[in-house]
Amino acid sequence: MPKDGSVIGVMSSVELQLPPQIGSWDRGDARAARRAIRSGAYAGYTAGIAGGYVQANVCILPRAYAEVFLLYCQRNPKPCPLLARSDPGDARLPALAEDLDIRTDIARYHVFRDGELVQELSDISSIWSDDLITFALGCSFSFEEALQQAGLRLRFLERGNVAGVYVTDIATVPAGPFQGPLVVTMRAFKPADAIRAVQVTSRFPNVHGAPVHIGNPGQIGVDLSKRYHNVGDSEVADDELPVFWACGLTPQLAVKNARPPLCITHAPSYMLITDVRNAALAVL
């Protein structure tokens, strides 16, 4: 049963959050999770759902913008690690999951017009067109799983939070109208663990890969107390180093700057769940 595609609300902020509706489906099963989201049976955050499977950032653009956005991704692979691009008008992404339908398989979409967030939807069938192209980009959830499997502690997860998000003063490489600063996530580690984190995440270039910076936040224009939209955890203990990774919000800022007539993304933390295993992304 498809979702009704009704407007959740015209947004004044991105803070709105529906209560998750947990049904009797297997939360460890990626296909079951997509089916639950598709039917409306589940509408919550995707963190912790279908563990072991890649979750993706999604950006849907009109064809006229998609070509140059692909170039932007190519020029900025660390913040924009492209996992899949659809054909125009094709709602499938078979490289990520056979049954995937991008119009229904995300619990919450953000709709941007001319670069401004105007709408949240639970289904985009009503605004889908043959002109739209989907981009699925890697997400740090994948490498966070690898970090934990390597025995590294992510205290922000234990606090039910996500990694702190910061806008740097490092410019990405522009492509046409797409341009803007590099956005990063910060995770704090003791030095030996920071070294281990470099090793572990280096194996995952398709999900942001190795850190882009370590140590002094000011060197990349970051003040740890000033998070992007107050998102995430900024705590760094005295014996820890802040370690910074490129973040999938970078292309969202670039799209905002490009002001395409239409852009559809997932809402933050409502990711696209795929059938690709995180471990399958490891290059070594």
Binding site for its own copies (CB under 8 A): 191-192, 194-195, 198-199, 202, 210-216, 219, 239, 241, 284
Q: How far is the CB of 212 from its own copies (least distance, A)?
A: 7
Nearer to its own copies, 93 or 197 (CB): 197
Q: Are 262 and 105 in contact (CB under 8 A)?
A: no
User: Are 201 and 76 spatial neighbours (Cβ–Cβ below 8 Å)?
Assistant: no
Please report how close the Cβ of residue 203 comes to its own copies at its closest, in angstroms.
10
Q: What is the DSSP string of 17-40?
A: -PPP---SS-TT-HHHHHHHHHHT
User: How far apart, in whole angstroms, are the C-alpha atoms of residue 194 and residue 166?
Assistant: 19
50/194 with CB nearer its own copies: 194
CB of 206 to its own copies, least distance (A): 16
Smaller CB distance to its own copies: residue 194 or 272?
A: 194
> Distances in Å between the alpha carbon of 166 and those of 15, 107, 229?
18, 25, 9
When the beta carbons of 149 and 199 are compared against its own copies, the nearer one is: 199
Q: How many CB atoms lie within 10 A of CB 78?
A: 18
Query: Rounded distance, CA 80 to CA 249, Å?
Result: 9
What are 111's strand-pairing partners?
119, 264
The nearest distance, CB 251 to its own copies, in angstroms, is: 21
Q: Would you say 93 or 210 has its CB closer to its own copies?
A: 210
CB of 73 to its own copies, least distance (A): 21
